[in-house]
A and B are shown apart, each in its own frame.
Chain A
Amino acid sequence: MFAGKLILSRFGAPTAKRAVGLGKLFTAKRFAFSPLVLNGVMRRSYHENVIDHYEKPRNVGSLDAKSKDVGTGLVGAPACGDVMKLQIQVNKDDNKIEKAVFKTFGCGSAIASSSYATEILHGMHLDDAMNIKNKDISEHLKLPPVKLHCSMLAEDAIKAAVKDYRKKADLAD
């Protein structure tokens, strides 16, 4: 409804009445929570942590998926058509993650979630990595409720990567 109201200004003659109406809209209480109005389009601003990870994603890249000490997690969210690949390189002796990289094609929240995930995975023990919950990621990034599934995707990717590594390690033994 609100979007409709805003679009209204793009059509039709910009009468004085409408201008007043729009002014009222923007100062109304329900719009008081930090939205940015750009070119007449409403944009809810994301938390700075999301924007930071989105603009400067950490640890983007790939590891050799065939290598024995690398675990690969490949997951997808059919609802939005996102695909996320997260890879970990594990030290065999102490089961700690030496390196974590990701590659995500999806929305900003999915990219930020996987970027932050690789950041916390560094130096982490595999058991601790399995205990990472999507809440840990979403709370740091302050994701809005509609984007919680992006952090869930990152959690799934971590679990898939650890499982993949363990499967390989078991086979090698």
Chain B
Amino acid sequence: MNVIGRSRKFISKLFSRKTRSIQSKSCYQFSARYFSIGPREPHSRNRNASVNRVNQEMGVFTGKDNHTLSCCDKCTEECEDQFRFFCEGCKYLKDPSILDSVDHFELFDIKEDYDIDIEKLDETFYQLQQMFHPDRFTMTGDEDLMENSTTYSSFINNSYKLLKDDLERAKYILKKKGYKALEEGDQISDIEYLQQIMEIREEIESSETQEELNVLKADTLLKKQTIVEKVSSLFKAEAYEEIIETLVQLRYTIRILEAIDKREREFI
């Protein structure tokens, strides 16, 4: 319950009105200049009243009153908080290019650490998806808005996948610390380890029964668990060079698990 409460609080932060007095004013002035007083710009989209009404009823964040999308271009420059994806003034989705600078951990409001709060990650993920899912924007009939929400939504998906993946998460943290792991063109000098991998892969390939695979799978899952725990403790000790070495084993172990799953499907 606590977790949920905290996440909700965080979500509301995304749309916080802290700076609204300044932001919305500039937004309004900007749009008013273009749409209320001056002649209409060719790129303006004045939605008709019925669409606006539907949007309001659906609770869709989109144009409000005389506000139109172009005012967001202005807001993007002025908004200090890069995580506010909606324009303060008109509640319109900002240009997705701001996602380039988004940190995955901050997006889900979790501590940047290898051991993550999975429960909170899931909870925040569902809440974010509820807000940015393209289905929410279908009713607006605004193609730009639908496309932007798709970009946001898939970014959230990828971000969630990355954080959930034991290997990718480690790689991401290392990258932020300036280390490179599992680069293309890297080589392994440990021939013995490669031989072990080769043997296991051959064993999977030649397995005939589900029981054989089950034994292999249980073994490999245990191995993976051990490696993940090792990586976690190495992160605590900040032994980054060692982590990079350990990640190679994690990569091969994950591949073995995938091979087992593939072989299992062949039995069916």
Contact = CB atoms under 8 A, between A and B. Distances in A.
A7 B154 CA distance: 9
A83 B182 contact: no
Interface of B: 133-135, 138, 141, 143, 147, 150-151, 153-154, 182-188, 191, 194-195, 197-198, 201-202, 247-248, 251-252, 254-255, 259
Contacts, number: 76
Interface residues of A, number: 27
B135 A12 contact: yes
B150 A5 contact: yes
A13 interface: yes
A167 to B, nearest CB: 13
A75 B259 contact: no
A3 B154 contact: yes
A85 B198 contact: yes
A105 B153 contact: no
Nearest to A74: B194
Interface in A110-151: 149
Given A11-B134, A78-B182, A79-B186, A4 B195 contact: no
A78 B201 CA distance: 15
Given A7-B150, A81-B252, 13 more contacts: A4-B151, A4-B153, A8-B134, A11-B133, A76-B188, A76-B194, A76-B252, A77-B184, A77-B187, A81-B255, A83-B198, A105-B198, A149-B184
B198 A103 contact: yes
Give the secondary structure class of A's interface.
Answer: mixed
Give the secondary structure class of B's interface.
Answer: helix
A75 B194 contact: yes
B188 A78 contact: yes
Report, nearest first, the 10 A-B pairs whose CB atoms are least far apart.
A81-B255, A4-B154, A78-B248, A76-B188, A105-B201, A81-B251, A12-B135, A79-B182, A79-B184, A149-B184
Most buried by A among B154, B197, B198: B198
Contacts of A81: 251-252, 254-255
Given A4-B153, A83-B194, A152 B134 contact: no
Contacts of B183: 79
A75 B190 CA distance: 9
B188 A75 contact: yes
Contacts of B147: 5
Nearest to A148: B184
A4 to B, nearest CB: 4
24 contacts: A1-B151, A4-B150, A4-B153, A4-B154, A7-B154, A8-B150, A17-B141, A17-B143, A21-B143, A74-B194, A75-B194, A76-B187, A76-B197, A77-B187, A78-B187, A78-B252, A81-B251, A81-B254, A83-B194, A83-B198, A83-B201, A83-B252, A103-B202, A105-B201
